[in-house]
Structure 1
Amino acid sequence: MGEKRKVVQINIDSIHPNPAQPRRTFNEQELLELSRSIRTNGLIQPISVRRVKGGYELIAGERRLRACKIAGLSTVACMISDCSPETSAVLAMTENLQRQDLQIFEEAEGIRRLIEQWDVTQEEAALRLGKSQSTLANKLRLLKLSEEEREKITACGLTERHARALLRIKEEKTREKVLGQIIAKHLNVQQTDDLVDKLLEENQKPKSKRTFVIKDVRVFLNTINHAIETMKQSGINAQTLKSETDDYIECLVRIPKAQATGGKKPA
């Protein structure tokens, strides 16, 4: 029991990464600065580990562990816990969430891995992580973006709200085009929402355009009707027969041959 509460020095090479660690990218400059501080002042806050077969598994303190390796330390101060793999995963996620600088897609991937590892529903995962189910669902939806889109969003420092606005566009090629505009024009969230709104409105215009075309056809049909009436007023017994199918509107005009040729038979 005493070992669980005191700080012990552990060989740095015997500490294995946490498979549930959500963070995948680390700022190299920040790691270098932290390693210099550790080299000068020592590690102020020990990292947390748990015993596993063949050594120890990191629970919390990935940045500190990496900085210690850069600083050239052979051992590192650790607090040992006998927590389960499930608890270790939650602690790893919680530590990163509390830091506030976890990238949006790293967080979403971390949540997805936890759900798969625990074999639970979104509602159960939300309860364990202290989040609402809707918040969790919104974060998981971000993973519908392609890997290339995620990389661009991350590289350009766009926010989760930018990403969620893009998700309203279902067609991937159109989404990529809009993302390019957002990046090139440095659009903020409101401008991005406006751009997506405008695009979605334009995509609904073909219906009204089709109505306009149909109205034009009716104008032509009215012109034919007017021509028939004019012929009748001139004493020509002209007739028009109309029919409509799923594919066509058919209009047949019949004029007595005798009246059309002035009573003369064609040569």
Structure 2
Amino acid sequence: MFDRRKPVGKVVALPVEQIEPSPYQARRVFDQEELAGLAASIRENGLLQPVTVRRLGPDRYELIAGERRLRACKLAGMDRVPAILRDYQDDQTAALSLLENIQRADLNPFEQARGLQDVLALWGCTQAEAAKRLGMAQPTLANKLRLLQLTADQQQFILENHLTERHARAVLRLPENRRSEALITISRRRMNARAADRYVEQLLQETDTPAQKPRRLPMVRDVRIFVNTIDHAIRLMTDNGVPATARREEGDGYIEYTVRIPTGPGPGK
């Protein structure tokens, strides 16, 4: 019987409507201007690098690599695209989709982090095992995953203000309720990553330093003598019919006296 199945590993021309997007695509944002430029190039020169797909069923394929190229082909009005047919399992598909974008630097830091999170969930393995399979250091993987601790608004602020992954990691050292304010300050002052690290360190030191309580300094001998002299003078005046008054306040390292002595004649004079 004649086998009409398309050969695995060969480049074949597939109808674009038969290719479904990958559920493991980490990239969320596509630059429309860039896609338009790629579409123009494809109309002029054709698609130079085929997309990669796997078979899902009769006349159904799932994209493994080449989301940007496939979108540009559709924009260019192509009915068929050259594709390499591969026989991959789910875990291989997720990893390949992610690695293609990472290697091409097509993902922003948060898309990378979400892609890595998806791969870990799919593989059901530890960070150390995933890092080994992805060819990256385990601390690097852990640092990227930590970016997802920032809220969606904070992530969007970082992208819109062209801050870097290092800026994001710097503010993650702060308590949750102080991160947004720190990001605004970093952006407003146009701090580079090193300056942002120093700024966050300063904020942490201010947080760690307990508030100083006012200290009651011991009264040195000469000051005590002076205070006693004032008290004695007030008592002497009041004993002799002069309605003098004194108000004493103690602050942090000082004593303040307010003395009121009437200048007019006393009562009955």
CA distance in 2, matches of 1:48, 1:92: 10
Kindly indicate whether residue 176 of structure 2 is the aligned counterpart of residue 154 of structure 1.
no
Kindly indicate whether residue 193 of structure 2 is the aligned counterpart of residue 189 of structure 1.
yes
Aligned length: 220
What is the aligned partner in structure 1 of residue 43 from structure 2? Answer: 39
Equivalent residue letter for 1:138:
N
- Residue 10 of structure 1 aligns to a residue whose secondary structure is strand
What is the aligned partner in structure 2 of residue 22 from structure 1? Answer: 26
Kindly indicate whether residue 135 of structure 2 is the aligned counterpart of residue 130 of structure 1.
yes
CA distance in 2, matches of 1:23, 1:38: 21
Deviation, 1:2, is: 7.0
1:112-147 Cα deviation digits (max 9, x unpaired): 011111111111111111111111101000100011
Of 68, 75, 81, the residue aligned with 1:63 is 68
Deviation, 1:186, is: 1.5
CA distance in 2, matches of 1:51, 1:171: 45
CA distance in 1, matches of 2:6, 2:71: 27
- Structure with greater helix share of residues: 1
1:152-203 Cα deviation digits (max 9, x unpaired): 111122111100001011132x211111111122111111112111111111
1:1-53 Cα deviation digits (max 9, x unpaired): 97123211111011111111111111111100000011111111110000013
Equivalent residue letter for 1:82:
D
Q: Within 5 Å, which residues of 2 pair with 1:110-259?
A: 110-172=115-177, 174-207=178-211, 209-210=212-213, 213=214, 215-216=215-216, 219=218
CA distance in 2, matches of 1:88, 1:200: 43
Kindly indicate whether residue 84 of structure 2 is the aligned counterpart of residue 79 of structure 1.
yes
CA distance in 2, matches of 1:40, 1:171: 51
- Residue 199 of structure 1 aligns to a residue whose secondary structure is helix
CA distance in 2, matches of 1:219, 1:105: 58
Q: Show structure 1 runs of 5+ residues with no match.
A: 231-267
What is the aligned partner in structure 1 of residue 53 from structure 2? Answer: 49
Q: Show structure 2 runs of 5+ residues with no match.
A: 229-269
CA distance in 2, matches of 1:76, 1:12: 6
Q: Which aligned runs of 4 or more in structure 1 are off by greater than 2 angstroms?
A: 204-207
- Residue 5 of structure 1 aligns to a residue whose secondary structure is coil
Deviation, 1:85, is: 1.1
What is the aligned partner in structure 1 of residue 12 from structure 2? Answer: 8
**What percentage of residue pairs aligned between the two structures are identical?**
44
RMSD across aligned positions (CA): 2.1
- Residue 203 of structure 1 aligns to a residue whose secondary structure is helix
